[in-house]
Amino acid sequence: MTTETQIESYLKALRTHLGPLTIAEREEIVREIGAHIRDSAEEPDVSVDSVLARLGPAEKLAAQYRDGLLISRASRSFSPLVLLRATLRLATQGVFGILVLFLGFFGYVTGGSLVLTGFAKCLFPAHTGTWVSGGDIVASGTQLYIPQPPAHEIFGMSYIPIALTLGSVTLLITTFAIRKSLNLSQRLRAKL
């Protein structure tokens, strides 16, 4: 197999495994890698085989590019689904990613639950709120069974703006924390 045939075979495999990306993104990556292989192979005592061995299998290299683009896009997104998808991918790469995934999941569930209970107070006012007894919170949110006296609900209808505000702020903080974490992971990855 000639050197050029070897390079073209590797680039063809790379192009195939970059499938989910746009044609423009695929071709840019293939051009970049092709130029890198050819430039590196021109150095003294460097063969195409050694360059390809350093790059690793085309499937793995394509996966790294796909992950990088997914994380890059998500770091600019406000969509919880896009952000959680990127954190799920990041979680496969180590402990930092697992922590970011946990933060995102916990933040979105907490914020979403607060917003939902704010709306639920409108529909089920007697069953939604925060109940205290003896200075301790005994229940909060929407309850199937209302806590019995001496427990009493403390916010009344003001629970609605409180829950909506706290939930919205939690959702926003979670979104910005995930975006910041994804940007940090990209910077760390670029240094490696």
**Residue-range domain boundaries for the chain:** 1-74, 94-192
User: Which pLDDT belongs to residue 25?
Assistant: 84
Mean pLDDT by 10 residues, the chain (192 residues): 80 85 85 87 82 87 82 86 89 90 96 97 95 94 93 95 97 96 83 64
**What does pTM read for this prediction?**
0.74
Measured from the Cβ of residue 146, the count of other Cβ atoms closer than 10 Å reads 14
Contacts of 65 (CB under 8 A, 6+ apart): 18, 21, 29
User: Which pLDDT belongs to residue 109?
Assistant: 97
User: Which pLDDT belongs to residue 167?
Assistant: 97
